[in-house]
Amino acid sequence: METDLQHLLHQNRLLTEEVKRRIDQLAAINTVAATVSQSLDLNLTLQTALRSVLNVVGAEAGGISLIDEKTSEVVLRAQYGWPHDFVNPPMRIPVGRGMSGQVIATNDVVVDNNLDGTEPLAVPRFHEENFRSIVMAPMHARGKIIGILSIMGTQPNSFGTEIIGMLKAVADTVGVAIDNARLYESTSERQKQLQAILNSTADGIIATNQKGLITVINHAAESLFDTDAILHMDHPLREAPIQTAVRDPLQYALESKRETHTFQVTLDNGRMLSLAMSPITVEQQVSEGDVHDGWVIVIRDVSHLREAEIRRAEFMRTAAHDMKNPLSVTMSSLHMLRDYFDVSDPSAMDIIRIATNGVQRLQGLINDLLHLEQLEIGYGVKKSPLEIGALIREVIDGMTPLMTEQGLQCRMDFARDLPPVEGDAHWIKRAVQNYLDNAIKYIGKGKQITVRAFVENGRIHIEVNDDGPGIPLDAQARLFERFYRATSEKTGSGLGLAIVKSVAEAHGGSVYVRSEPNKGSTFGLTLAAQPGGKAAN
């Protein structure tokens, strides 16, 4: 009975010692974890972690080495208690060499409590430190060894089983903290590089989060809008001190479908800006299926292009006026020749027909140029209250035979209670017709065109949507320039969309486009609703 009791007491004592050892290990881990989690600075984390470990295990000296995967080397990054400096420059050991190689190969603690200076070391200079005991433990993070935590003593047999076990227990805690600090340092460096890139570009860049709060404004955007980025970070884009001509279309884009918007605006000082607004979608890792959406807005000062366009337009207007009379004479002469030859000479009639078509195309180009001139100076723009739905239907009815010939379907989607517009019926119909002409030309046979009209933020939007080939983003910013065509496969003067833009601006509105390759296009224009006007059913 007494023997059984003694055995039971012995087992109880061993269990108590084991529990105490585990509690001491947990306390050591908690102490190290609490210490190293106070900073995300890598160098500071290395130094703090090393001193904390030495205090916990009661060692005289120690070191932390990290694996450099690019060079396949183990690099000493922190040391304490060493007589000589092995950090500046750092001691580098090829992976697989020396005692560190044993640690990595076995993925376990390596202990030598009897160093006598005869050991074959990867770095022979280490013998000069006169350490007699060493323990090296692998540090893990994200499922792999990222480095080695070492402690040293100047006496043989400095480290017993308890200290070795404690070092092994805290090594991974130190490894995770170091890895977090390294990731933070890498992320911070990338953010600095990104900020440097953003601030070096001549294009203005503004980014918002899902709620429309500004998260990024670069120096170019500050200059374009004469604002201070710091004052508007984390504030709604709608409250930014941006001119109404810019803010209104931006706000409309924010509240619309998640599609790219491209439009041009003219500031009060005469500068012309081209804006491309694109959605950003980032998948959330915490909540499956959730997304974090935002917008990136690229603003480009295209005033120089506008000035060149104006000079070119002035030249073309002058040339158009000068050519109008000679062309009229030429057309009259062709009519006389047609009457002279009648149908007696088919070859002559073909030549006359080709010449007549060429003169008519040139006259159409001249008329478009003169129309642009009229719109820009406000000549011939006669405004009156208009019912926009009836006006658009009239345009569609007039173009139905052409769409039927092309095998196209046209669907109308008008909001109820559209308010009247104070505008020129001729020019607004011309704008809608140009949009439809453009869609018919590029969409291809057998597809669908949708014409929408709705009210957003006090403005009437007219949109012509097609399911055609779409337009590359880099071409969208120039679509409304005179003579610009996104492709040379179709004929045309390149003035149709420029006329739409001038019509919209003559009515205090704007134009925009949303398009992606192979996903169709939406061309839109906005018009100011008549103040106090009674909505039409």
Residue with the larger pLDDT of the pair 46 and 25: 46
Pinpoint the residues of the chain covered by CATH 3.30.450.20.
201-301
The pLDDT value given to residue 162: 81
Compute φ and ψ for 242, nearest 5 degrees.
-110, 145
Mean pLDDT of 103-120: 91
The answer to whether 397 touches 440, Cβ cutoff 8 Å, is no
Mean pLDDT of 112-140: 91
The pLDDT value given to residue 108: 93
The pLDDT value given to residue 290: 47
Model confidence at 286, pLDDT cuts 50, 70, 90, reads very low
Question: Does the pLDDT value for residue 536 go beyond 50?
Answer: no
Question: Does the pLDDT value for residue 187 go beyond 70?
Answer: yes
Compute φ and ψ for 441, nearest 5 degrees.
-70, -40
The pLDDT value given to residue 71: 93
> C-alpha distances in angstroms, 314 versus 109, 310, 321?
83, 6, 11
Pinpoint the residues of the chain covered by CATH 3.30.450.40.
2-187
- 324-354: pLDDT as tens digits: 677 677 777 777 777 766 666 677 777 777 7
Going 233 to 238 to 239 to 244, the CA torsion angle's sign is positive
The pLDDT value given to residue 151: 94
Residue with the larger pLDDT of the pair 314 and 537: 314
The pLDDT value given to residue 307: 74
Question: Does the pLDDT value for residue 263 go beyond 60?
Answer: yes
Residue with the larger pLDDT of the pair 343 and 235: 235
**Residue with structure tokens 């060894």?**
145
* HSE-up of residue 45 (Cα within 13 Å, Cβ side): 24
* Angle formed at CA 464 by CA 446 and CA 256, multiple of 5 degrees: 125
> C-alpha distances in angstroms, 458 versus 124, 410, 533?
80, 27, 12
Question: Does the pLDDT value for residue 308 go beyond 60?
Answer: yes
Mean pLDDT of 292-320: 73
What is the chain's alpha carbon radius of gyration, rounded to the nearest angstrom?
Answer: 38
The answer to whether 421 touches 535, Cβ cutoff 8 Å, is no
Mean pLDDT of 71-82: 94
Lowest pLDDT segment from 281-285, 360-364, 479-483: 281-285
Of residues 312, 316, 315, 296, the one with CA closest to residue 304? 312
Model confidence at 159, pLDDT cuts 50, 70, 90, reads very high
Whether the model clears a pTM of 0.75, i.e. scores above it, the answer is no
- 14-40: pLDDT as tens digits: 666 555 555 555 555 565 556 556 666
243 — alpha (psi -120 to 50), left (phi > 0) or beta? beta
Residue with the larger pLDDT of the pair 464 and 226: 464
Mean pLDDT of 425-448: 85
Pinpoint the residues of the chain covered by CATH 3.30.565.10.
381-537
Residue with the larger pLDDT of the pair 100 and 457: 100
**Cross-strand partners of 463:** 452, 524
The pLDDT value given to residue 256: 61
SS3 368: helix
CATH class of 201-301: alpha beta
**Residue with structure tokens 């009210």?**
455
The pLDDT value given to residue 537: 42
- 247-261: pLDDT as tens digits: 777 776 666 655 677
Which fold does the domain 381-537 belong to in CATH? Heat Shock Protein 90 (3.30.565)
**Rounded distance between C-alpha atoms, residue 136 and residue 152, angstroms:** 9
**Cross-strand partners of 68:** 73
Homologous superfamily (CATH) of 2-187 is: GAF domain (3.30.450.40)
What is the 3-state composition of the chain as percent helix, strand, coil, each rounded to the nearest 5? 45, 25, 30
Which range of 53-67, 167-181, 265-279 scores highest in mean pLDDT? It is 53-67
Mean pLDDT in the chain? 79
